[in-house]
Amino acid sequence: MNLVPDWAPNIHPLLVHFPIALFCAAAAVDVVGWAFRRNRPLRQVATLLYVLGTGGAIAAYLTGRAASQTIWLPGMAQAVLRQHWDWAWRTVWFFGIVTVVRLVLL
């Protein structure tokens, strides 16, 4: 059973938007949580959103790396793809560290 729709070349484009939305929501909840210092549940929700976003970012990174092996890219696009990988790797590490720090401080 193939879960990828016919219009999508692979699963990566379907997964990559979830961590972006989760990180934006986590940041928004964080700002509201900072405004109301005594509201511990908001900080916990923000931490949960960071955890889910980091998991999604890891999944997006891995599916993106796998997807790059299955599609044809012209030679000029290789440098852009490499830069895309580098930024994805940095994003996974940055939010991974933020998430671990939040979990430790929680």
Per-residue pLDDT of the chain (106 residues; tens, 9 = 90+): 566 777 667 778 888 999 999 999 999 999 998 888 778 889 899 999 999 999 999 999 999 988 888 877 788 888 888 898 999 999 999 999 999 999 998 8
Q: Is 18 helix (H, G, I), strand (E, B) or coil?
A: helix
For residue 16, what is the DSSP state?
T
Q: How many residues does the chain have?
A: 106
**pTM of the predicted model, to two decimals?**
0.86
Yes or no: say if 43 and 77 are a contact pair by the CB < 8 Å rule. Answer: no
Burial class (CB in 10 A: 0-12, 13-18, 19+), 11: middle
